Amino acid sequence: MSTPIDPYASDLPPAQREGRLGVGVISAGRVGAVLGAALRNAGHQVVGVHAVSEASRERAEALLPEAPVLEIPEILRRAELVLLAVPDDALEPLVTGLAEAGHFHTGQLVVHTSGRAGTGILSPAEQAGALTLAIHPAMTFTGMSLDLQRLSACAFAVTADPSVLPVAQALAVEMGGEPVVIVEEDRGIYHAALAHASNHLNILTAQSAQLLRGIGVEQPDRVLGPLMRASLDNALASGEGSLTGPVARGDVGTVRQHLMLLAGSGLPADIRGAYVAMARSATQRALERGLISETTAAELLDALA
């Protein structure tokens, strides 16, 4: 195996730094192709990429143009670092099958990019002598080159045995991100937090845009964009201290009107359900911060019931 990675040897061109590795990418999905390109930009050599679908092959050609498209066993034979960027549910059976077939080898770095799992899911590879790392970029991916620029503002959740944790941190730095250590038992909560923030923000945006389009607003993004960006910036800076709106003001009448209108015919039921759930949570947190009284909170919860 090559000399351990030194992420701080930035005074040398990437390809001339110590610890450059032969990287195998499995597979060329949105995440794998981008992270493979980020490692290549750091001077590592992509020795093989697994790409089955037409979209994956096109992505590999665009982001990893010189990397040969190979079958998984051949990639593992060639690679010093194996990047497993497969769907969460596919990870465990893939690792188990490859280990049973004897494809992992001693000293090989095996990295997965799943948010919910730590290194325990890689135990079959570890038993075969591999060094296992879990590295998850906290970002949504398009699978295009613009993602490489976005990695510079991205946190990477890293989980590994203390003996190889510095390698995981170094790889995150080399890909342009900031390593954040998450211990094995906390990976599930970490992933739930990210899914709640990212996926549910997407749904809230879509629901609000649907309401605006329903009343004739042709470009709801122009209405929602400045508001939501400012709200997100304030929330990240001040947390619940930036809470505003009818719940934080104790405007029970406004909340009742919203609920009545959202129950109207022709509107999707999930919008009202989401409004009620979030307004209940906002009521509890506004009460805890002293923004509203217990009496007002009770009135709001009664209305939301």
Residue 248 lies in a domain: yes
* 4 found inside a domain: no
Mean local confidence (pLDDT), 271-292: 95
Q: Are residues 105 and 127 in the same domain?
A: yes
- The helix (run of H) or strand (run of E) holding residue 279 is helix 269-288
What is the rounded average pLDDT of the residues 254-270? 91
Residues 293, 230, single domain; the answer is yes
- The verdict on 49 and 197 lying in the same domain is no
Instruction: Note whether 120 and 56 are same-domain residues.
Output: yes
Enclosing H/E stretch for 148: helix 146-150
- What is the helix (H) or strand (E) element at residue 257, kind and residue range? helix 252-262
Whether 93 has a pLDDT exceeding 80, the answer reads: yes
**What pLDDT was estimated at residue 1?**
45
Model pLDDT, residue 10: 47
* Rounded alpha-carbon distances, angstroms, from residue 209 to 213, 215, 247, 264: 6, 10, 21, 17
Q: Which domain holds residue 68?
A: 14-182
177 & 204 share domain: no
Cα separations (Å) of 284 from 65, 138, 271? Answer: 53, 28, 20
51 and 178 part of one domain: yes
What mean pLDDT comes out for the span 23-44?
Answer: 96
| 129/272 same-domain check | no
Average pLDDT (2-23) is 61
Q: Which amino acid is at 74?
A: E
Q: Are residues 19 and 84 in the same domain?
A: yes
148-158 average pLDDT score: 94
Q: In the predicted model, is pLDDT for residue 9 greater than 80?
A: no
Domains: count for the chain: 2
Residues 143 and 255 in one domain: no
Asked which of 182, 206, 227 is the last residue of a domain, the reply is: 182
Residues 141, 208, single domain; the answer is: no
42 CB-near residues (< 8 Å, 6+ apart): 14, 17, 174, 175
What confidence score (pLDDT) does residue 4 get?
A: 52
